[in-house]
Amino acid sequence: MKHICVIGSGYVGLVTGACLAELGNQVTCVDTDTEKIAVLCGGAIPFFEPGLEELVKRNSRTGRLHFSSNAAEALDGTEIIFIAVGTPMGDDGHADLQYVRAAALSIAKSLNSGSRKVIVNKSTVPVETGDLVASIIREHSPAAEGVSVVSNPEFLREGSAIFDFMQPDRIIIGVHDKASATVMRELYAPLYAPVIVTDVRTAEMIKYAANAFLATKISFINEIANICQEVGADVRDVVKGVGSDKRIGTAFMNPGLGFGGSCFPKDVTALSKFSEKVGVRPAILEAVLEVNRTQIERCVRRLEEQLGSLRNKRIAILGLSFKPNTDDVRESPAMYVTERLLERGATIAAHDPAALWAARGVLGERVTYCNDVYGALKEADAMFLATDWNEYKQLDLSAAAQIMRGRVIFDARNIYNPSDLVALGFSYIGIGRRAPLPVDRISVAK
């Protein structure tokens, strides 16, 4: 058992803290947001992540997991300190490290002479951030000689974060000394996962490179889908054929609206800016971002062409979160689509199983928010499937046809069978898929 403090009780910090407590450690999660701490002390969590609330409650009851807004008190007596604060994208595209700096300063002020501590950067940060944290501690603490700074990037997917923590593909540990590597190996030993130990800068680069590569796969398949659309090929069969090559695979090869969320957009942008800073032109990263930007506009334009005009058209948006099983609307392609439709004069009725409250905080009252999916579809001129929640895959399309005013479905996640929709009288729009002719236009050979 180790005594751990996690600075930052947002998505990464809370998942990390709860899971480390589940492994038998004594963990205190710290945050400057006193309202958030009050919510957590009450046994609830401030965002939606499957299974996390139960994990927090269980470990709070056992006394292994605590929450505090007093950093100095929480840091006292700890062996390992995780920095898991936000690193948002700054106005210039670079990662904003103000919260990392503040966390490092609070750690420096808490250090006592002779104390040995391992400080772990869990946040996604640019290369050389470990050096920055170490320099802040050396500058502001006379006890800095007992401190080691480690990079241990997270690889958590929203919607499956607990599984990803408990059953990781690998654990990356960037260290400057063997003692820190030993501490981190012991911490993660109960997971029986492959551990890759490297230097701090390499570990920082691994995280950025991983996210950039996954984003590249998404932009690549969207570009291929757009080509398929123009030549009458079906991108789903293309993905199946290409992905059967073991060197390629099908993961992250699902065409759609592009990537969003709190990680890929800012991390690819930050890596691109960092590359420029060190004198390397990031041509591929620039293309990845450009394809992602234009995908939204392309989809909105296709819907507009289908309807003739979007002005005064009622569009049902299904899904507002950037992916299913989360209420996160940050950089959500669905939200961008909604904004573009509103700009073109459309009326929006939106449904999402978890993200309505978060979306309202961004879109305000410009949108009608529906707790029932069929309420959103009622009298709609078109349905735009933006996020592939499971309940949309089970939608009663016959019932939808009865209550919708129009007969247009934009399946931006390719979850429906075009033939089924056409048989119900819908006009189908997908991403890189062949839409069959309506039944009354199919000529039968004699």
- Looking at residue 444, its pLDDT comes to 41
Is residue 446 a part of any domain in this protein?
Answer: no
Distance CA 383, CA 376 (A): 9
324 and 274 part of one domain: no
Q: Which of 147, 172, 198 is the last residue of a domain?
A: 198
What are the DSSP E strand ranges found in 377-446?
382-385, 408-411, 427-429
192 and 225 part of one domain: no
**Segment holding 229, helix H or strand E:** helix 200-231
> 416, 409 in Cβ contact below 8 A?
yes
419 and 275 part of one domain: no
Distance CA 206, CA 95 (A): 16
* Domain interval for residue 157: 3-198
- Looking at residue 270, its pLDDT comes to 95
Q: Which residues contact 262 (CB under 8 A, 6 or more apart)?
A: 11, 158, 328, 330, 331
> Could you give the residue numbers annotated as active site?
263
Give the CATH number of the domain where residue 190 resides.
Answer: 3.40.50.720
Q: Which of 165, 198, 231 is the last residue of a domain?
A: 198
What are the DSSP E strand ranges found in 84-159?
117-121, 147-151
Domain count, the chain: 3
**Tens-digit pLDDT string for the chain (446 aa):** 889 999 999 999 999 999 999 999 999 999 999 999 999 998 899 999 999 999 999 999 999 999 999 988 998 889 999 999 999 999 998 999 999 999 999 999 888 766 789 999 999 999 999 999 999 999 988 877 889 999 999 999 999 999 999 999 999 999 999 999 999 999 999 999 999 999 999 999 999 999 999 999 999 999 999 999 999 999 999 999 999 999 999 999 999 999 999 899 999 999 999 999 999 999 999 999 999 999 999 999 999 999 999 999 999 999 999 999 999 999 999 999 999 999 999 999 999 999 999 999 999 999 999 999 999 999 999 999 999 999 999 999 999 999 999 999 999 999 999 999 999 999 999 999 976 655 444 444 43
- Among candidate residues 407, 413, 358, 359, the one with its CA nearest the CA of residue 385: 413
- Looking at residue 76, its pLDDT comes to 87
49 and 175 part of one domain: yes
> 333, 299 in Cβ contact below 8 A?
no
Residue 201 vs residues 7, 66, 121: alpha-carbon distances, Å: 21, 32, 11
77 and 127 part of one domain: yes
Is residue 359 a part of any domain in this protein?
Answer: yes
pTM: 0.91
- Looking at residue 437, its pLDDT comes to 57
Q: Which residues contact 222 (CB under 8 A, 6 or more apart)?
A: 255, 256, 258, 291, 292, 295, 431
Residue 192 in tokens:
């029986």
Distance CA 370, CA 147 (A): 52
Beta bridge partners of 27: 4, 65
85 and 142 part of one domain: yes
Beta bridge partners of 265: none
Residue 331 in tokens:
């950089």
> 273, 266 in Cβ contact below 8 A?
no
284 and 321 part of one domain: no
